[in-house]
Amino acid sequence: MKKRRISLKNTPKVREYNQALRIGSKIQHVVQHNGAWAVKRSGASRVTKVYDKQNTAINKAIKIAKNCGTSVIVHGRDGRIRDIRRP
Amino acid sequence: MKSLIIEVDAYKLEVPGYDPKKSWKYHKQSAKLADVVFKQALKNAQYKKVVLMCGGSASGKSEFVSSNLIDKGVIVYDGTLSSIEGAKVKIRNSKRKRKNVEINAIIPDNITKVFRAFLARDRTIPIDVFIETHSLCRSTLLWILEHQMDIDVKIYESSVKKDKLRVDELIFGDRNDMTKYVKLIQISKQEIRKLIQLQP
């Protein structure tokens, strides 16, 4: 099997898709962190902030996600996705 | 000549009482409207060829169409082709009107990356729709390769490089090679569910 590169024109749809990819990299995660709950951006090495309660962390993450136009992924204690919130 | 693009999602706006926040609820109705327009389009003798798009949500189908098929003078049905029955009907109707049918499948190299675009863009569509379309469109593609030998199939791979969509055409020695590849990329809904377990 060979691959042949297709050059995509810069149409509004292509621009919109690329913008969604950029926004998608700002997805906010709510994860367990040292016995508490933290908000963490996709790909970030450090957490944004730590909260005692998961609910507080979710609300904070939703606020950030709303500003970035992205989504919140809530992870359970085992690290698996428990819920996806799209404000 | 400009192509005639029939984009299933675009017909949601035509459904009476359409609510963009619950857009997935209008999918069946918009698909029906798109099918009516498709049937009408097939009557147009100017167009000799029909391209049926095949691929899961946010795989880059509409982007590819807007960039590379818009000026080809063909009828493009821009849907996911996630049902074998739907594909059968569209192929049969196109053949009846003596059109050449070609399938253009867009397969992402990494479902997780595409899922990120889906989360950011298709904000009102349930995750299950993403999972279902990515799994079922591959089964339909395999069915076409095995049962519709006279239908041309082109497979493109979509990928993300530096937050930009990239598309490559996959070129196979023959149809058998293509079929073997499509057999290999079959994926169940459960497997997709595991793949999209995004980690922070």
The residue extents of the domains of chain B are: 4-195
- Chain B contact set for A6 (CB, 8 A): 64, 68, 156, 167-169
Whether residues B67 and A17 touch (CB distance < 8 A) is answered with no
Partnered with residue B107 across adjacent β-strands are B157
pLDDT interval class at A59 (50, 70, 90):
very high
Q: Exposed, middle or buried, B75 (CB in 10 Å: 0-12/13-18/19+)?
A: buried
Task: Using the CB atoms, write b or e for A48-69: b if 16+ within 10 Å.
Answer: eeebeebebbbebbbebbeebb
Taking the alpha carbons of A38, A39, A40, A42 in that order, is the dihedral positive or negative? positive
A16-30, B17-31, B63-77: the lowest-pLDDT one: B17-31
CA distances from B121 to A47, A74, B4 (A): 25, 19, 25
Would you tell me which residues 2-61 of chain A have a C-beta closer than 8 angstroms to some C-beta of chain B? 2-6, 8-9, 11-14, 16-18, 20-25, 27, 29, 31, 40-44
Residue A52 confidence (pLDDT) above 70: yes
CB-CB under 8 Å, B120 with A12: no
Q: What is residue B122's predicted lDDT score, i.e. its pLDDT?
A: 67
Alpha-carbon distance B66 to nearest alpha carbon in chain A (angstroms):
7
Residue B168 structure tokens: 């490559």
Does pLDDT of B186 surpass 90? yes
Averaged pLDDT score across all residues of chain B = 92
Whether A21 sits inside 8 A of B64 (CB atoms) is no
Q: Answer whether residue B9 shows pLDDT above 90.
A: no
pLDDT given for residue B92 in this prediction: 97
Non-local CB neighbours of A80 within 8 Å, separated by 6+ positions: B197
- Of the partner residues A6, A20, A40, the one whose CB lies closest to the CB of residue B168: A6
pLDDT number for residue B198: 66
Asked if residues B17 and B88 have their Cβ atoms less than 8 Å apart, the reply is no
Residue contact B117–A24, C-beta within 8 A: yes
Residue B15 has pLDDT above 80, yes or no: no
Q: Which residues contact B175 (CB under 8 A, 6 or more apart)?
A: B145, B149, B153
Which pLDDT belongs to residue B47?
97
Q: What is the pLDDT of residue B199?
A: 65
Q: pLDDT at residue B195 above 90?
A: no
Contact A71, A27 (CB under 8 A): yes
Q: Quote the pLDDT of residue B164.
A: 94
Instruction: Compare B124 and A4 and report the one with higher pLDDT.
Output: A4
Interatomic CA distance for residues B141 and B105, integer angstroms:
8
User: Using CA atoms, how far apart are residues A18 and B158, in angstroms rounded to an integer?
Assistant: 12
Residue type present at position A58: I
| Range from A41-50, B35-44, B86-95, B102-111 carrying the lowest mean pLDDT | A41-50
Which residues neighbour B40 within 8 Å (Cβ) at sequence distance 6 or greater?
A: none
Which chain A residue is nearest to residue B68, measuring alpha carbons?
A: A8
Residue to substitute from B2, B70, B121, interface A, most A β-carbons within 10 A: B121
Assigned CATH for B4-195: 3.40.50
Q: What is the pLDDT of residues B90-134, one digit of tens each?
A: 999 999 999 999 999 999 999 988 988 888 876 667 888 899 999
Q: In this predicted structure, what is the pLDDT of residue B123?
A: 62
**Chain A: nearest CA to B96, how far in angstroms?**
32
SS3 content of chain B, % helix, strand, coil (to 5): 50, 20, 30
Looking at residue B18, its pLDDT comes to 78
Q: What value of ipTM does the predicted structure carry?
A: 0.90
Q: Which residues contact A38 (CB under 8 A, 6 or more apart)?
A: A30, A31, A32, A47, A48, A49, A50, A51, A57
Q: Identify the pLDDT of residue B200.
A: 65
CB contact under 8 A, B168 and A3: yes
Across B26-42, average pLDDT: 89
Mean pLDDT of B63-85: 96
Question: How far B110 CA lies from chain A's nearest CA (Å)?
Answer: 13
Nearest to A6 among B58, B124, B169 (CB): B169
- Residue B192 and residue A17: Cα distance in Å, rounded? 21
- Residues B66-81 have a mean pLDDT of 96
Res. B147: pLDDT tops 70: yes
pLDDT-based confidence at residue A64 (cuts at 50, 70, 90)? very high
